[in-house]
Structures are given as structure tokens and as C-alpha cells.
Amino acid sequence: MTSRLNPYLSFDGDARQAMEFYKEVFGGTLAVNTFGEFGQPGAEHADKIMHAMLETSSGFTLMAADTPPGMEHSAGTNFAVSLSGDDDSELRGYWSKLSKDGTVSVPLEKQMWGDVFGMCTDRFGIPWMVDITGS
């Protein structure tokens, strides 16, 4: 798998409805995972979207999630740029450069779903998410 760069949108509880709408608009295949499927089955937000991905035949990829409890949702700034793939060295290199002189909100480390993942905001104020599959 090559690395991919795409928008990642955050929603205030209506990610499923939004992604279903975008599927109607663009077509494609929509994959949805809830917080309940990833270790929080009894939580109040178990049915909310932890990760959704729409991939279209035109080559578009759009990812999204509901903002987890305890994190602020702010309309208008509810996006990040996502870098993902399985090239550990390449993606760690991007992470190193993007996070330098920026702010790390989630360190790049192994997560409960099995990937290495991190979030940072670069020195220009752009939020980034880096996910290394199968690391």
C-alpha cells in the first residue's frame, strides 16, 4: 500500500449521517466502525463513529469520526489532514518533520486498534493525523 493524504472530518455526533450523505453524493464504498466495536461497548457513546472511510471509484477518500467525549468539537475547524499507509519509515519521517516546532496532541505510538497513530498541529496551525498500518 502506498501512503495516502486525505481530509479527516470531525463531527458532533452525526458522523454516520454525514458520511451516508457523502456516499449519496460521491458514490463509493463506506466502511464504518463505532467506539463500541473498539473496546468501549458499554459506553454512552458506543454507537458513535470512531472511524469512517468513504472510498470512491473516482479516487476520492474521505475519512471522519464523531468527536469523543472530553474533546472539544469546534465547527469550522473540525478537520485534519490524514497521512496513512504501511511504509513505517516514510510516515515516521513525515511525522518527525510535521511535529517539529509544532504541538503533539497524541504521541505517535501503538493504539488499541493495532496501528501506530499520532496527532499533531504543525507550526502553521494545520492539524495532522498519521496512521501506520500494521506496525
Rounded to two decimals, the pTM is: 0.74
For the stretch 7-33, pLDDT in tens is 999 999 999 999 998 999 889 999 999
For the stretch 67-83, pLDDT in tens is 988 888 887 778 899 99
Closest CA to 55 of 1, 14, 132: 1
Domains, the chain: 4-132 (3.10.180.10)
- Residue pair 129/65 in contact (Cβ under 8 Å)? The answer is no
* Gap between the Cα atoms of 89 and 117, Å rounded: 14
For the stretch 91-113, pLDDT in tens is 999 999 999 999 999 999 999 88
Helix (H) or strand (E) holding 94: helix 88-99
